[in-house]
Amino acid sequence: MADFTPTATVKTAVRKLAAPIGSLTAFSALVQDILDNNPWGCTSYEKAGVTLPAVSKSSESYSGRVIYENTEAKTVGYISVKAPTPTAYH
């Protein structure tokens, strides 16, 4: 399993990936694999008489940043993009 570095402020952990995820398609496949195979062995639960799945997506959004550089490779500006779905992101 990966090494996690706990942060002190908000009880979360940050993990550095050995290699970046190469594309949105690869990321979507990774998420779908987690939803389908439940690799952490999570258990389903019941709420208001309805059995909910052990692993599910509660929300999603996609973001990116376009960085503008001059001919000397210095950043002169950037824009941020956020979209609710992969299709909207593209």
Same-domain pairing of 28 and 53? yes
Domain that holds residue 71: 59-90
Cβ atoms within 10 Å, residue 27: 13
What pLDDT sits at residue 13?
66
Instruction: Confirm whether 9 is domain-assigned.
Output: no
Calculate mean pLDDT across residues 16-45. Answer: 89
What pLDDT sits at residue 37?
93
Residue 8 has pLDDT above 80, yes or no: no
What pLDDT sits at residue 48?
92
Question: What's the domain count of the chain?
Answer: 2
Residue 33, token pair as written in the block: 């694999």
